[in-house]
Structure 1
Amino acid sequence: MTIANHRFTHIEYSLKIPATAGAAPPLTWHGRFDASIVAVSNLLARIATLQTSVAEIYCDQETSFLYRLGGLIDGYRIRFVDRFEDAYVSESFFKVVFSDETPDSNELPPGVIAVFSGAADLCPPGHIHHESLTPERLKRAVLDAIASSDVGVRRTMDALKDTAGFEPEWRPLDFDHTVSPGYYTRALLDVLASLRIRARTGGGADRYDMDELVDLVDVFVRIRQACSPPPRERFPSPAALLYLTDASASRDFAADPSRYTEAALRNRGIAEPRAMATAISYAEQGRTGGDTANAYIGEIERERDLLDRLIALAAASDVAPVVRVPLSNRDVSGEIKRLGEVDRGDGRKTQTLSQRLSEKLAPHLDPWLEYLDSVPSAPLKFVSNLPLEWGFSQGLPLMVRHEVSRIPVGPGYATVPLLLHNDKIHLKPSDLQTILFVSSFADDDPIRDHLKNALAVIQDSSADEERVAQMKAKGLIPKNFQLPARSSGLDVRIDWKNVANTAELIETVNAHAHAITVFDLHGSHDADGGRIHLKDEAVSVFDIHRDLRISPIVLLSACDTSPVDRGHDSVAEAFFLAGARTVLSSALPILSIQASTFLARLVLRIQHCLPADLSHGPVRWSRFVSGMIRRSYFLDLISLLRETYKFDQATKNDLTFQTGMLIDPLHPDWVQGTKAVIADGVGIGIDELDEFVARNAQFLECMKYLQLGRPESIIIGADT
């Protein structure tokens, strides 16, 4: 199934915000969101009730679900502009422009629909007032714009109409429960509205109600059951079965709380130190319904409202429910801080502290993870500042049990564009044929060649059947995969570049338009934020992000590129501002040998596993990387077991092979299957194995790699 010309399929929503005359936009004090975007969150809520595309203008509700679930159309496209006329500069033919001012000319370009966001009695002729912009009204406006367009546009739209089908009226469905609107349901209600499902809202306290949320999430289960794609269609796996968020706040305050006591704030010249200290405590505890007469609390609530509207737009694009749990910074910040301190020290108590962290996460995550126990591996999207990936599920780390990626909720100026990336990036295997590696170390650095040497083994093995057989025996690649022919396009080439300084880094990155860029260097994070360390100098990527043309996929082989125990302004967040769609980053310091092995295995996986995955249909990058993390975890777990139970190399190879067969490709019963294989091979019971994992394998090196950003929006399809 194909959709007609994207230029005419998209509807682009533009919101005019106050111009800053080239200056940096004003930021909110707490989450550092653009204050002018916070001010228009009510318009984002309005957009969430509208259609994502012209295909949805035409089609019925069920077809709309299928398009979104299958990734056939992009999600909501939203831009912020300084002037009404700036919205005209766009590839999309249909543009809905929200503005409290009128355009310079009364003659609007074809396809432009003007929406007035000021007072209703000031709405000029030819504009739609934002409060009266309903899906029905937008449908009429788009159909009128098509009817008045030239013959070429009408011909294209007729083809789209034939593909999508046509429903004359916009038909919503009513949800037969009354829902209490508030902090825990706001985003979920927006998603339902986007899906043409109207929920009755009523009174009640703004509180976390598990039963109410389960009723709402069940709606999505029924949608997915009713909208299975046709058997002959090739759809990627769902982008997300669940968006899970919480009440976590900016990491900056928890990272250095001594700077934010009332006395410290007074000494720094804050006009109302008590009010600010109260607001910081309010956010750290995840409280709601606070006294908005406190201006600082009022701004936190406005930030939360904006965040909910953005999460809803992203989740609606994926037909996924949004569940917010009452988990705050205060609940786990102590465990996270101690885990970071221990990991940076001798590491002997890492497993114990990891277990304590997962126990704190469990009451909030377990009810929703149990909901997914029967799913072999669910794509989960977290929007949080907390490492929810490190929870536990069915005796495995959560990021091993399921496919997990996360969007941090700060700094706001990096979070907003991430949540607005609701379009898809479609890649072919040939786009991954060359990977750029940017390396920078001092000549005498003992780790400077670790990654290069690991990659050399991979490159040699792709031309040497005997070496491949050896690697299969060691469990580095599954035995059921064959080497692809060189003509297949997956004979991955390494484009290795050494740089010494910032100028060389910028020149190198911008000269190579590859889909994947790997940075092999030292990283750090201190009170001033994240740094990458080049041979001649250390640099903040925030200082150079506007000069970079970065790949959509960035892999960081460096320490502390998104440290969970420190503040924001991390290296990963800077790369998002530079244009990356997803960053594989480090939550803590990483070990060079293990990091080099991990990335070499990832290259090997692209070479030898991707063709098999693509034989079943398109593959999301998030799923591909999750498979790599899962594979690495079991390789490391088997090695740990061997240290304790002293079995021979042949047994280790056999366990590696058998578990690999269950997870590449993923067997429906792989969780219990891998446990049974390992327990039988080691000669222990499954209960003893579970106890071993809980005591020794809650936190392995591969779990320091976090999938951040929107990796699910990158879809790899077969070359045609």
Structure 2
Amino acid sequence: MKQYPHNKISYFLLSKSHKTSTFNEYESRTIDNREIIKSICALPKNFAEIHSDVEHVILHRIIGFHDGYEISFLNDIEDLHKKHQKIKILINDTITNQIAEKNSTSHKNAIYIGNSLTTDLDSLTINRSTFTINEVYDCIEKLISRLSKKDIAYYTELKKITTIKPGKRNTDTKESNIETHPNLFTEPNITLLKSIKIESKKLNHKNIDDKKQIESQVNAIDNIKNYLLQQMKPNALLPDIHYVISDLSSNTGFSFNKSRYNKNSLGSDHNHDRKEIELAIRTANQGKNIEDNCLNPYINELKIERETLTSLISIYCSSKVAPNINTKLSNNDICFKLKNLGDIYRGENRKKINKTMESIQGILNHHMAVALPHIKQRTEKNLKIISNLPIEWAEHDNLPLMIRHNVSRIPVTPGNITTLLQLSQDQIYLTIRSFKKILFISSFPDDDPIKDHAKEKVNKVIDLLKNASPETDIEIIWKTPANKDELIKCIKENKVAITIFDLHGAHDENGGRILLKDESIPAFDLGNYAAVSPIVILSSCDTNPIDRDHQTTTNAFFLAGARTVLSSALPLLSHEASSFIARLLIRIQLYLPKRVEEYKMPIRWSNVVTGMIRRTYYSELTDLLEKKNKISNQEKHALNFSIYNYLDPLSENWPDLILKEISMKTKISKNDLSIFIKKEFRLPDCLKYMQMGNPDQIIIIPEYYDIIDNSHSDLQI
């Protein structure tokens, strides 16, 4: 699994503007380049794809062999000189041949593509409207010929390794019978097909069933992937994302703070446009279809935001050959119920939690009906949700989606966060040594009764691990910052792979807050001062609340450099949260070394966390069965042992096997057990933990793997 650091082709987009859009806060540089972002899908994402055949391109994408597309923004063309990548392609429609030639004089390893350019291979310029893929390949070859002898030798070796048929490039486009009508729901799959050189038949007439189109597209992409896996039988298989589930959710602040967004409270600044803005917000909340040439300028802006998101999803799906399924779930479909659940959970009378959760899952299940036929297989699937809503709570095989499958989520808003997470597609490789040091940040007032809960449980776990295995060498770096300056200092001084935050959290009208011993700080302040670990665990309340707006603590940590954040959808109970952290440490210390080093099997961080949440789910279920006098304490421990054997490693058809096991041990019929779970066990504590961001991009590998390109080599190991 050798990674060549200069295999990537780096795409750059030019834009000086950082203004944000009105409703979902997309940066204007992303909006202005939305069509270019989508068009990049037709270009190679790395040098290896030029000389490979399309079958190997698809195979390498679906097993995550290479990083995804690398797309970055530049404020000025001069900034291109500061970039270290070997193959750089700048795409901009305002650059002329004169500007490109002037820039190339001092900086030769860059290709320029734009509508204002004429194609000249010697000048490395290409007209964007008329180019052929061979012209792009020719320019890349020409660029490489101008590099140093060492670099040329490097690419010569890489070409030799990746060439499937000598003298032949990956240029052949294949016609298909897949019928498509381009719109927001089908565009990502159409773009994906183009990226793997498959042309679909465009239907121009209206009144086409989107659901049938999506079903046809997803089936076609699945058939291609399954056929190649069966025919080519790759030696190393570490599946990337199988499906991308999206919806029509929008800025949830419009739903949860309606009084701030009606025509009477929009303020004097928008005196003239109050009614039009209110109508646009209503359109956003309802997920309504927006026709072309709408007279309301704010609804048109909302339409452009949706087009921008579609372009981002297109590039994400193309990188992984993961079909997109849009559920058409909107804020109005579910936000009222989520607000109810939050109010009940924060109140003293929690009797209605199961009933409210049942209602929420019913709505989610209804909208997920378009996706479930594709993922209704016995094997576990890797699902990426792109939404502001907790789709991971939908059900499959009578289990929450996040328990049945390996699920993580990217928020739709704020736009700068979803852009960052969808365009950052480089994978991080860590080893077991990367987890030998864990930064643990805890901050509570001296008189807080819960201030030592986590520390006590963690120390107990470490002692147990060392008694069971004296060679245990995990080190917890305990830090107790009292204020912002101390917090920033301890983050800067401890570059580790994983940081756990054990403190109080809050989310008020100004967004997420971090509550330290002596100071409460806005979560978004953090990114201005410190770069955090790629893996962040937030053992705090309301870090990604289901009933608040999108200015969450979780999103703040993404801006501070986190790749994935395990966060809370609702308030956490201290003892349960501490137990969860203790379980995580056990999984890191016992499961990871066995899986990665003993069995020599890499694993994605998302699978590590999903496995732990799964075990916790069934542990909470057996605790409830004991509490309800269905089993004794001794029977519970024996049952847990049996259940865990089905989970590690994951058995085929494990949900049914576990249900049978519980039924047999408790002497409760499977039907009655299912009824019990639905009535009593809708929202266990483990479902409050959401895997946000890109945990799938963090791969833990055996020490012997030859990974050259690791952007996190500064971590303490």
Q: Aligned residue for 1:13?
A: 11
CA distance in 2 between partners of 1:427 and 1:117 (Å):
42
Deviation at 1:47, TM superposition (A): 0.6
Deviation at 1:224, TM superposition (A): 2.4
The one-letter code matched in structure 2 to 1:258 is S
1:140 to 138, 141, 146: 138
Does the Cα contact within 8 Å between 2:441 and 2:499 map onto a contact in 1? yes
Q: Aligned residue for 1:477?
A: none
Does the Cα contact within 8 Å between 1:59 and 1:165 map onto a contact in 2? yes
Q: Does 1:165 align with 2:141?
A: no
Deviation at 1:644, TM superposition (A): 2.1
Q: What are the superposed Cα offsets for residues 159-198 of structure 1, whole Å, 9 maximum, x if unpaired?
A: 1112111452411222212211101101111111112211
Q: Does 1:418 align with 2:421?
A: yes
Compared CA separation, residues 312 and 108, structure 1 to 2 (3 A): farther
Bigger shift: 295-304 or 209-218?
Answer: 209-218
Q: Does 1:669 align with 2:653?
A: yes
Q: Aligned residue for 1:542?
A: 524
Compared CA separation, residues 429 and 322, structure 1 to 2 (3 A): same
Gaps of 5+ in 1: 466-482
Q: Aligned residue for 1:365?
A: 368
Does the Cα contact within 8 Å between 2:327 and 2:371 map onto a contact in 1? no
Bigger shift: 217-226 or 393-402?
Answer: 217-226
Compared CA separation, residues 493 and 227, structure 1 to 2 (3 A): farther
CA distance in 2 between partners of 1:120 and 1:696 (Å):
68
The one-letter code matched in structure 1 to 2:569 is A
Q: What are the superposed Cα offsets for residues 413-466 of structure 1, whole Å, 9 maximum, x if unpaired?
A: 11111111111001111101111001110111011001001101111101223x
CA distance in 1 between partners of 2:382 and 2:389 (Å):
18
Does the Cα contact within 8 Å between 1:48 and 1:193 map onto a contact in 2? yes
Does the Cα contact within 8 Å between 1:184 and 1:208 map onto a contact in 2? no
1:603 to 564, 567, 585: 585
Q: Does 1:630 align with 2:614?
A: yes
Q: Aligned residue for 1:563?
A: 545
CA distance in 1 between partners of 2:123 and 2:615 (Å):
62
Compared CA separation, residues 270 and 593, structure 1 to 2 (3 A): farther
Deviation at 1:126, TM superposition (A): 5.1
Deviation at 1:252, TM superposition (A): 1.3
Secondary structure of the structure 2 residue equivalent to 1:26: coil
CA distance in 2 between partners of 1:211 and 1:157 (Å):
45
1:299 to 297, 301, 315: 301
CA distance in 2 between partners of 1:616 and 1:204 (Å):
53
Deviation at 1:530, TM superposition (A): 0.4
Q: Aligned residue for 2:351?
A: 348
Q: How many pairs align? A: 691
Q: Aligned residue for 1:716?
A: 700
Q: What are the superposed Cα offsets for residues 511-566 of structure 1, whole Å, 9 maximum, x if unpaired?
A: 00100001110000011000010000100121231211210000001000011111
CA distance in 2 between partners of 1:293 and 1:107 (Å):
48
Q: Aligned residue for 2:382?
A: 379
CA distance in 2 between partners of 1:687 and 1:106 (Å):
71
Q: What are the superposed Cα offsets for residues 119-140 of structure 1, whole Å, 9 maximum, x if unpaired?
A: 8899997521222344333122
Does the Cα contact within 8 Å between 2:124 and 2:143 map onto a contact in 1? no
Does the Cα contact within 8 Å between 2:327 and 2:370 map onto a contact in 1? no
CA distance in 2 between partners of 1:106 and 1:456 (Å):
59
Q: Aligned residue for 1:491?
A: 473
Q: Aligned residue for 1:460?
A: 463
2:150 to 149, 152, 165: 152
Q: Does 1:281 align with 2:282?
A: yes
Bigger shift: 191-200 or 433-442?
Answer: 191-200
CA distance in 1 between partners of 2:124 and 2:134 (Å):
17
TM, length-normalised to structure 1: 0.93
Q: What are the superposed Cα offsets for residues 354-387 of structure 1, whole Å, 9 maximum, x if unpaired?
A: 1000101112113422332223321110000110
For 1:81-480, what aligned pairs fall within 5 Å after superposition?
A: 81-99=74-92, 100-101=94-95, 102-103=99-100, 104-107=102-105, 109-118=107-116, 127-167=125-165, 168-169=168-169, 170-205=171-206, 209-228=210-229, 233-236=235-238, 238-265=239-266, 269-290=270-291, 292-346=294-348, 347-465=350-468
2:32 to 31, 39, 58: 39
Secondary structure of the structure 2 residue equivalent to 1:45: helix
1:692 to 656, 676, 680: 676
Does the Cα contact within 8 Å between 1:645 and 1:682 map onto a contact in 2? no
1:591 to 573, 576, 582: 573
Secondary structure of the structure 2 residue equivalent to 1:176: strand
Bigger shift: 438-447 or 188-197?
Answer: 188-197
Deviation at 1:207, TM superposition (A): 6.2
Deviation at 1:239, TM superposition (A): 2.0
TM, length-normalised to structure 2: 0.93
The one-letter code matched in structure 1 to 2:14 is K
Secondary structure of the structure 2 residue equivalent to 1:635: helix
Q: Does 1:650 align with 2:598?
A: no
Deviation at 1:157, TM superposition (A): 1.1
Does the Cα contact within 8 Å between 1:51 and 1:135 map onto a contact in 2? no
CA distance in 2 between partners of 1:89 and 1:78 (Å):
15
Does the Cα contact within 8 Å between 2:12 and 2:74 map onto a contact in 1? yes
CA distance in 2 between partners of 1:514 and 1:77 (Å):
25
Q: What are the superposed Cα offsets for residues 222-248 of structure 1, whole Å, 9 maximum, x if unpaired?
A: 232233397683332x22110010011
Bigger shift: 596-605 or 367-376?
Answer: 367-376
Deviation at 1:147, TM superposition (A): 3.5
Does the Cα contact within 8 Å between 2:287 and 2:330 map onto a contact in 1? yes
CA distance in 2 between partners of 1:207 and 1:30 (Å):
29
Q: What are the superposed Cα offsets for residues 272-318 of structure 1, whole Å, 9 maximum, x if unpaired?
A: 11111111111111111335321111111111111111111112111
CA distance in 1 between partners of 2:299 and 2:270 (Å):
19
CA distance in 2 between partners of 1:636 and 1:141 (Å):
59
The one-letter code matched in structure 1 to 2:377 is S
CA distance in 1 between partners of 2:463 and 2:571 (Å):
30
Deviation at 1:84, TM superposition (A): 1.3
CA distance in 1 between partners of 2:144 and 2:554 (Å):
43
Does the Cα contact within 8 Å between 2:444 and 2:516 map onto a contact in 1? yes
Secondary structure of the structure 2 residue equivalent to 1:609: helix
CA distance in 2 between partners of 1:594 and 1:210 (Å):
41
The one-letter code matched in structure 2 to 1:607 is Q
Bigger shift: 563-572 or 160-169?
Answer: 160-169
Deviation at 1:145, TM superposition (A): 2.1
The one-letter code matched in structure 1 to 2:23 is H
What is the alpha-carbon root mean square deviation over aligned residues?
A: 2.0
Q: What are the superposed Cα offsets for residues 101-160 of structure 1, whole Å, 9 maximum, x if unpaired?
A: 324435263331011244889999752122234433312211222344443222111211
Secondary structure of the structure 1 residue equivalent to 2:566: strand
CA distance in 1 between partners of 2:436 and 2:228 (Å):
35
CA distance in 2 between partners of 1:151 and 1:268 (Å):
61
Q: Does 1:57 align with 2:50?
A: yes
Deviation at 1:200, TM superposition (A): 1.9
The one-letter code matched in structure 2 to 1:363 is H
Does the Cα contact within 8 Å between 2:118 and 2:126 map onto a contact in 1? no
Bigger shift: 220-229 or 398-407?
Answer: 220-229
Deviation at 1:60, TM superposition (A): 0.7
The one-letter code matched in structure 2 to 1:260 is Y
Percent of aligned pairs with the same amino acid = 32
